[in-house]
Amino acid sequence: MTVSALTRPGERDRLIVKLSELDWVFVLVLSLIAGAGALMLFSIAGSSWTPWAAAHVARFGICLLMMIALAMIDIRVWFALAYPIYGLGLLLLVAVEAVGDIRLGAQRWLSIGSFSFQPSEVMKLGIVLALARLYHGVSAERARLSWWLLIPAMMIGVPVLLVAHQPDLGTAMLIALTGAAIVMLAGLSWKIIGAAVVGALAVIPPFVLFGMHDYQRQRVLTFLDPESDPSGSGYHILQSMIALGSGGLLGKGYGLGSQSQLNFLPEKQTDFIFATLAEEFGFVGCVSLLILYAAAIFMALRTSYLSHSHFGRLGAAGVTATFTLYVMINGAMVMGLAPVVGVPMPMLSYGGTVMLTVMIGFGLVQSVRVHRYAEVTSGKGSFV
């Protein structure tokens, strides 16, 4: 059967126009980052495509096709699905509390047959969509300063508490910071932002002392003084810093990183893959990768700016904020500037869950770009 028998000429033309509206330079940048990840995974496996590099490439290929397909979806469909996706995320988080799988002392997963997933990943996108829709029809005055702000605060706070209780402090922090970024971008008063920062700083010490689990508190104490237990809790950070420092300006060479090749560096394929890259390609390699990340962030933010709808602007900006937080938190963690919280470097680290979440989010960003002139109503997701 020919393509023309499956698709009317007008529909084919619209699809071609939409594909031409994609930011293909953005696609190239993401491919370069994922390609760098594949090279590093090939290296640390002893110049072998298994067990990580081949799977990484295959996952990225599937996720890239998914991103392009999601970009074809009208932005008004995303608008209509915003609250349902958020509600589904909440229900799944509650289900985790009731029937979730317990692994390594944490209750974070739901299993359906042989398939297992973390509902907190759904909420990373759900919080962006829901807050973007909420603020779409809100006046600047209400967004700036009003008792109405309790609504977005509750929308952020409930999933954050559910995820933190699993416990998954890293993901809870990502959801909280992403939600806060959207609220601020929507026009929150600087007075409230300043008061919130002061309040957060005041709450951190008692939270560390009384609100954290013992292992979480130990991570914070280890971050403050990793050499207090160099062969125990401080091992991860110290080995990472050794790998970073030993790379020097140009690195030891591809496949010659002793910390990763000799398995001194823990989680070398996931959380600490950036340290592996630093050891083999040095400061120049790290800066080159960070330039790619900065380019992806800049292009996504530019897409947010181009959107004619408030929903599109906040949605694209929210996804970009999540991606930026991934990069910043992982980079700080690897360099010993933040506690180890299990946040991977997106597109570079091995693992399908985070890659899928990031690429679905970028599908929304590209949908905003393709449909940037669409008028989104503030009703119940109706189209105009």
Q: Domain ranges for the chain, please list them.
A: 14-370
Instruction: Please compute the mean of the pLDDT values over residues 50-69 and round it to a whole number.
Output: 95
Helix axes of 24-44 and 273-306: crossing angle, nearest 10 degrees: 170
pLDDT of residue 8: 53
Whether the pLDDT of residue 188 is over 50: the answer is yes
Peptide bond into 51 cis (omega under 30): yes
Whether the pLDDT of residue 353 is over 80: the answer is yes
Helix (H) or strand (E) holding 370: helix 352-370
CA dihedral 202, 206, 212, 218 (to 10 degrees): 100
pLDDT of residue 382: 39
Residues 6+ apart with CB under 8 A from 21: 369, 370
Contact 7, 283 (CB under 8 A): no
pLDDT of residue 11: 61
Predicted confidence (pLDDT) per residue in 231-285, tens digit: 777 787 888 888 888 888 888 888 888 887 777 888 888 889 999 999 999 999 9
For β-strands 106-112 and 101-103, DSSP reports them as antiparallel
DSSP state of 340: -
DSSP state of 117: E
pLDDT band at 110 (very low <50, low <70, confident <90, very high): confident
Predicted confidence (pLDDT) per residue in 168-181, tens digit: 888 999 999 999 99
**Tokens 């999933």, located at residue:** 159
Residue type, 182: I
Collect contacts of 281-287 with beta carbons under 8 A, ≥24 apart.
Answer: 281/247, 281/250, 281/251, 281/254, 282/247, 282/248, 282/249, 282/250, 282/251, 282/252, 283/247, 283/248, 283/249, 283/250, 284/249, 284/250, 284/251, 285/247, 285/250, 285/251, 286/247
Residue type, 228: S
Residues 6+ apart with CB under 8 A from 7: 15
Measured CA to CA, the distance from residue 5 to residue 55 in angstroms comes to 36
